[in-house]
Chains A and B, each alone.
Chain A
Amino acid sequence: MSVGAPKIPVVVAEVVEVNALIKRFRFQRRDGAAMPVFSGGSHVVVEMDDHGTRRMNPYSLMSHPADTLGYEISVRRDEVGRGGSLYMHTHVRPGMEMVLSQPVNLFPLDARAKKHLMIAGGIGITPFLAQMAQVEAMGGRFELHYSVRSPALGAYVEHLQEQYGSRVHVYYDELKQQIDLKTLLKSQPLGTHIYVCGPKGMIAWVKATAAAMGWPALAVHSEEFLAPPVGLAFEVQLAASGKSFTVQPNQSLLEAIEAAGVEAPYLCRGGACGQCETDVLRCDGHIEHNDHWLTDAQKASHTKIMPCVSRFRGAALILDR
């Protein structure tokens, strides 16, 4: 990584099938040393060697931030994606050696909040597991509203209810239960911050409802990792390193750059953090900007690209890398 933090060589200590869609993985350091402590909301990038294709997917850390014996993540099986989650589900077994990045937090709690109001949808529960453990240890005030499809797919519901009692509220879509967001947002004490992690639609709904009720935008936090989309293959030329290659349909531009042996900076690999921003020297065609980082004007100008999630259609793309 560009800012030089050392990676963490790990061994898979445990793989647990949480439900039909979700598996939990526990990693420990190969050298037996302690993992770094982290802040709730952090993710790590997991490196996979998928039969010759290097995949690097970000996953939120869900284990207790003070647990330095190991890290835990939960992975939801995505049948239609590019294969990172499928690889984790079908190939990763206890004893396997893997590599993790240092934790990075792009979804931190606001430490000044008088109360933390957490809203999770499905697999979006994972960062909150770590955050709740941290807030609880600090004596902070929080409440979780967790929406899942069905009791069978309600990952960690029992654990959460046991641990945090009436501060945990669970809603099952199949039982036609829905978060009564307007009532919930009406009664929050001044100084409450909202955190939402889940599907795109849920994040948009929470943000719009809060804004319409007079919540300041800076009191509403969200995290949505974009999985790099699959697309058509395209050619790219790297000016600084003098390389040209094809980006495959199920490969991200960033992965293709790395596969060509060119070092490129990154942190989130999900279009959110801005670290991989790259100058476009020539663009004969159309960049499919899939990120949350560039401004609309930057996107329209076709002078910048976020290679972690964005793709290209056209005759020629030359990058300053």
Chain B
Amino acid sequence: MTKTMFEPSITSRPVYGVLSPGVGSAHLFVADGEGADAVCDLFAKAEAAEMKAASHIIYMPGANGCDKTADLQALGVAQFYRAPSFASAQSRLAKVLADAHMGLQIYAAGTEGLMAQVAALAQAAGLPYEAVQMEHRGSLARRVQCVHCKGVTENVRLDPFHCSHCGLSLFVRDHFSRRLAAFQGVNIDAEDPGQVPASVERFK
């Protein structure tokens, strides 16, 4: 399976495709967890063979522990880097983008939070959002910004959940900010303090 089935949503929520070999002078892949499979699937295509010498893969294991480093290493691309987390890879990514020329192809695969953060960095570097290919794999856990304290909570599975910064009970909207690479969390008991419905695991 390459495509996650998503429930119908609102127009701010991104939709994702399937990675395919792009035409360009250089290829930058950023993936987390199961996203490695999307990258491997791309390189399994015949037309991707000649991309390898110009490809750079940055990979981080998933928050769920999924680690497919070996699969990606086996591809034999020009540059492979395993980062322990997205945060730790940010300065490397920024350097790669600062040095890059037009013609660079960017691919992001894995969780929505990872893909959105890659797209946001690419946009900050001056590329159109649409220039980043994205394929969802793995967890549907969400990256959520608390609209009240502005703190971002990673890997949100429950709805409602407690903001990891200010502690308010937040319900998770589908409204999505590409700039923040996050969904929006809004206090659920603002009108009736203390009346918080039981959390359910909505994002697996």
Chain A–chain B contact at Cβ < 8 A? yes
Q: Which residues of A contact B (CB under 8 A)?
A: 112-114, 185-192, 211-216, 218-219
- Pair A216/B126 contact, Cβ less than 8 Å: no
Known: A186-B25, A190-B97. A215 touches B126 (CB 8 A): no
Could you tell me the distance between the alpha carbons of A190 and B95 in the complex, rounded to whole angstroms? 12
Contact with A218, one of B23, B97, B98, B131 (Cβ below 8 angstroms): B131
Q: Which residues of A contact B105 (CB under 8 A)?
A: 214
Q: Which residues of B contact A114 (CB under 8 A)?
A: 125-126
Query: How many residues on the B side are at the interface (Cβ–Cβ under 8 A)?
Result: 18
Asked whether B127 is an interface residue with its Cβ less than 8 Å from the other chain, the reply is yes
- Pair B25/A213 contact, Cβ less than 8 Å: yes
Interface SS of A by simple majority? loop
Could you tell me the distance between the alpha carbons of A112 and B131 in the complex, rounded to whole angstroms? 15
Asked whether B45 is an interface residue with its Cβ less than 8 Å from the other chain, the reply is no
With both chains docked as a complex, state the minimum distance between the C-beta of A148 and any C-beta of chain B, in angstroms.
26
Could you tell me the distance between the alpha carbons of A186 and B101 in the complex, rounded to whole angstroms? 7
- Pair A191/B25 contact, Cβ less than 8 Å: no
- Pair A214/B24 contact, Cβ less than 8 Å: yes
Q: Which residues of B contact A (CB under 8 A)?
A: 22-25, 97-98, 100-105, 125-128, 130-131
Beyond A186-B103, A214-B105, A218-B130, 6 extra complex contacts between A and B, CB < 8 Å: A189-B101, A190-B101, A190-B104, A213-B102, A215-B103, A216-B127
Q: Which residues of A contact B101 (CB under 8 A)?
A: 186-190
Could you tell me the distance between the alpha carbons of A27 and B33 in the complex, rounded to whole angstroms? 64
Question: 13 A-B Cβ contacts within 8 A?
Answer: A114-B125, A185-B103, A186-B25, A188-B102, A190-B102, A190-B104, A191-B102, A191-B125, A213-B102, A214-B23, A214-B102, A219-B128, A219-B131
Known: A214-B23, A214-B25. A191 touches B131 (CB 8 A): no
Interface SS of B by simple majority? loop
Question: For residue B129, which residue of chain A has the nearest CB?
Answer: A218
Known: A190-B97, A190-B125, A191-B125. A215 touches B130 (CB 8 A): no
Could you tell me the distance between the alpha carbons of A185 and B23 in the complex, rounded to whole angstroms? 14
Could you tell me the distance between the alpha carbons of A186 and B100 in the complex, rounded to whole angstroms? 11
Q: Which residues of B contact A186 (CB under 8 A)?
A: 25, 101, 103
- Pair B128/A216 contact, Cβ less than 8 Å: yes
Known: A186-B25, A190-B97. A214 touches B128 (CB 8 A): no
Could you tell me the distance between the alpha carbons of A321 and B189 in the complex, rounded to whole angstroms? 55
Could you tell me the distance between the alpha carbons of A185 and B100 in the complex, rounded to whole angstroms? 13
Q: Which residues of A contact B22 (CB under 8 A)?
A: 214
With both chains docked as a complex, state the minimum distance between the C-beta of A185 and any C-beta of chain B, in angstroms.
7
With both chains docked as a complex, state the minimum distance between the C-beta of A86 and any C-beta of chain B, in angstroms.
41
Could you tell me the distance between the alpha carbons of A211 and B25 in the complex, rounded to whole angstroms? 12
Known: A185-B102, A214-B104. A191 touches B127 (CB 8 A): yes
Q: Which residues of A contact B25 (CB under 8 A)?
A: 186, 213-214
Q: Which residues of B contact A192 (CB under 8 A)?
A: 102, 126
Question: For residue B104, which residue of chain A has the nearest CB?
Answer: A190
Which has the most chain B C-beta neighbours within 10 Å: A191, A192, A218, A219? A191
Known: A185-B102, A214-B105, A218-B131. A190 touches B126 (CB 8 A): yes
Question: For residue B98, which residue of chain A has the nearest CB?
Answer: A190
Could you tell me the distance between the alpha carbons of A213 and B24 in the complex, rounded to whole angstroms? 5
Could you tell me the distance between the alpha carbons of A43 and B125 in the complex, rounded to whole angstroms? 31
With both chains docked as a complex, state the minimum distance between the C-beta of A294 and any C-beta of chain B, in angstroms.
23
